[in-house]
């Protein structure tokens, strides 16, 4: 098992890794729309925050030598399920067919008041 870490995505703020490389499979921890340089949530609506979140995921994937085409499963957490359509539109800008499997759920709250969070599993 190898830890994946990059300063192009927000640093882990607890006892976890940005990602863990297990050979053929890489597990990415949930990314929220934190701006890596400031540690603050990207200001804006779900569209703005979703783009920031996916840019953070892209940075972690890149550090692992992977891209969105390697992602086989995502779990998306939304503060408000009413943001599903807007999130879906942004999601479609990062993922292409064949799309990864996905779950999307509304949660009571996300860290730092984020509107969205996404974790991924990728394969080489």
Q: Is 104 a catalytic residue?
A: yes
Q: What is the mean pLDDT of residues 92-104?
A: 97
pLDDT digits (tens, 9 = 90+) for 47-92: 999 999 999 999 999 999 999 999 999 999 999 999 999 999 999 9
Which class is domain 2-123? Answer: alpha beta
**Structure confidence by residue, pLDDT tens digits, 10-51:** 988 789 999 999 999 999 999 999 999 999 999 999 999 999
Q: What is the pLDDT of residues 2-16, one digit of tens each?
A: 999 999 999 887 899
> 116 and 57 in contact (C-beta within 8 Å)?
no
Which residue is catalytic, options 104, 116, 118, 120?
A: 104
Instruction: Report the distance separating Cα 79 and Cα 74, nearest Å.
Output: 16
Quote the pLDDT of residue 14.
Answer: 85
Q: Is the separation of the CB atoms in 34 and 42 below 8 Å?
A: yes
């Amino acid at each position: 098992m190898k830890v994946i870490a990059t300063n192009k995505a927000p640093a882990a703020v607890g006892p976890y890794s940005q990602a863990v490389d297990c050979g053929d499979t890489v597990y990415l921890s949930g990314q929220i729309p934190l701006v890596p340089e400031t540690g603050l949530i990207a200001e804006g609506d779900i569209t703005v925050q979703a783009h920031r979140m996916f840019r953070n995921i892209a940075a972690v994937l890149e550090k692992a030598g992977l891209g969105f085409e390697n992602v086989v499963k995502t779990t998306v957490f939304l503060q408000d399920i009413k943001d599903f359509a807007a999130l879906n539109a942004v999601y479609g800008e990062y993922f292409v067919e064949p799309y990864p499997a996905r779950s999307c759920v509304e949660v009571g709250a996300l860290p730092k008041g984020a509107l969205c969070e996404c974790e991924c599993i990728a394969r080489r």
